[in-house]
Structure 1
Amino acid sequence: MIQRLIAAHRILNREIRRERTRRAPDRLRLTQLKKERLAIKDRLFRHFPDAAEMRRVARLALGQMRHA
């Protein structure tokens, strides 16, 4: 589940960057994407309240996803 949340967070980051680089960014879409990203981050912090621990777990999960 943690890997799915991290993957969803990364996808949302990409979408936010993509929307920002458009000639006329859609502010409503950006707001929705940011809210979704924050909700995922909140869910991750429920599992790992310590930010350092969450980053460590995220790095491990990303490494596993790259090798899969």
Structure 2
Amino acid sequence: MTDLIQRLIAAHRILNREIRRELARRVPDSIRLARLKKERLAIKDRLFRHFPDASHMRRVARGVIARARTA
């Protein structure tokens, strides 16, 4: 597993967290949400270039996340 893949997965998780945080606000900033979602999609596209099979990509991501939790 390359360092690039690990960084992309971590960035995707951070963006997911930020999107959830923004949606939880009383009045979400729609412009910020759009930007965050666009960034998240760009990262997902980059991940799919390395793993065209979605199920394989999810398995790899779960492995990275599990290793990060135990480290």
1:39 corresponding residue in structure 2: 42
1:51 corresponding residue in structure 2: 54
Give the TM-score, by structure 1 length. 0.95
1:22 corresponding residue in structure 2: 25
Structure 2: gaps (5+ residues): none
Give the TM-score, by structure 2 length. 0.91
Structure 1: gaps (5+ residues): none
RMSD: 0.7
**Percent identity over the alignment?**
75
Count of aligned positions: 68
- The separation in 1 between residues aligned to 2:34 and 2:13, in whole angstroms, is 16
1:8 corresponding residue in structure 2: 11
